[in-house]
Structure formats: C-alpha cells, structure tokens
Amino acid sequence: MTLLLGPVACEQLDRKVKLKRFSFFKELDILLKKELRLDYDIVIQAAAISDFAPKFTGQKKISSHQKELKLTLKPTVKLINCLRMFKPRAFLVGFKFEPHIETKHLIEKTRKLIKSANLDLAVGNHLKNKRYNAYLINRKKIAGPFLSKSAMTNSLIRLIRRAYVRK
C-alpha cells in the first residue's frame, strides 16, 4: 500500500503504508505514472489537484522594482482521466469537491466525473450550511449523506471491499 501525499500534515501511518511526498503538480504526475506501473488492484485519488499551472516559469528571481507582473495560466492534464489507461482492471475511486453547490448538482457533477474518468466509484462532497457533507456514488446508487469524514471513510472502505470482491 502506497500513499502519495502533498504538502499537508499527516498523522501516524500504519507501517504497511509506504509514504511518498510531492509538492507540485509535475512531481505528482511523475510519481503517479511511476507507481501505476506497479501492481495495484485499487487506486483512490483523493488529491485536489490544480486545474491550472503557470504557462511560463522564470529561471531567476523577479525584481521587486517591476511595476506590473502578468501571470498567464494554462490548463493542467486531468490526472484522474489517465488512471484507467494505466490500470484497466483496477477498482478506481475519485473525489469531487464542490464547496458551495446544491446536493442535486453535486451528484450530477460527480456522475459526470465517474463517466469521464471511467471510475468505479466517486465521493461527491460539499459544505452544506458550513458543514461537511459527502455521498458515495457509483453508476447506479448513491449512499449518504455522510456528515463526517470518518463516517464517509468507513463506508467507503466497506463499499470497496464488497464491490472489489465481486470483480
């Protein structure tokens, strides 16, 4: 079991979990492609990956005497859309976070993610009345709402176990 983790705090992990850190999109892209060449049966992509990156990166310090600085962004590759290509038989789980959206629209957007990335399951989550709210969604069913991350995680693990055993 391997965890690719961005620049966030991490509690004590089980010894069985191999931790690999990344800070930038390109680092995750390289790590993910390297890891997906290995033998994984289940892939869960929960990272909130940037949709845009700077089009140009400077090679030296930018002078503070510049009067104006323009930043041009370009879209990044949707890494979640590459998972099925690397792991055609794996059980794939994605996440869709839309903080300020109605539940109906969250479910629609999560189902679109399932279809576009060819996922087996996705977690759609948002903030409803400033509180965490999540749904476990596949092509046929919706489970939830889960009002805490731990409740969602426990149900996600149970669902993956049941669904993966059937594959």
Supply the range of the domain harboring residue 78.
Answer: 41-57+68-166
Contact 17, 3 (CB under 8 A): yes
Contact 20, 31 (CB under 8 A): yes
DSSP element (H, E) containing 26: helix 25-35
Instruction: Assess if residue 80 is contained within a domain.
Output: yes
Contact 6, 22 (CB under 8 A): yes
CATH number, domain with residue 97: 3.40.50.10300
Instruction: Assess if residue 45 is contained within a domain.
Output: yes
Instruction: Assess if residue 132 is contained within a domain.
Output: yes
Is the per-residue pLDDT at 167 higher than 60?
A: no
Instruction: Assess if residue 115 is contained within a domain.
Output: yes
pLDDT at 138: 92
- For range 21-45, the mean pLDDT: 89
Among all chains, which residue has been given the structure tokens 């409740």? Answer: 151
Instruction: Assess if residue 134 is contained within a domain.
Output: yes
- Joined together, the tokens standing for residue 103 give 């539940």
Indicate the pLDDT class of residue 166, thresholds 50, 70 and 90. low
Residue pLDDT, tens place only, 146-157:
999 999 999 999
For the entire predicted model, the pTM comes to: 0.84
Domains in the chain, number: 1
Instruction: Give percent above pLDDT 70 in the chain.
Output: 98
Instruction: Assess if residue 96 is contained within a domain.
Output: yes
Instruction: Assess if residue 15 is contained within a domain.
Output: no
Indicate the pLDDT class of residue 164, thresholds 50, 70 and 90. low
Is the per-residue pLDDT at 49 higher than 60?
A: yes
Instruction: Assess if residue 99 is contained within a domain.
Output: yes
The rounded distance, in Å, linking the Cα atoms of 16 and 154 is: 19
The rounded distance, in Å, linking the Cα atoms of 119 and 34 is: 20
Is the per-residue pLDDT at 107 higher than 80?
A: yes
- For range 88-98, the mean pLDDT: 92
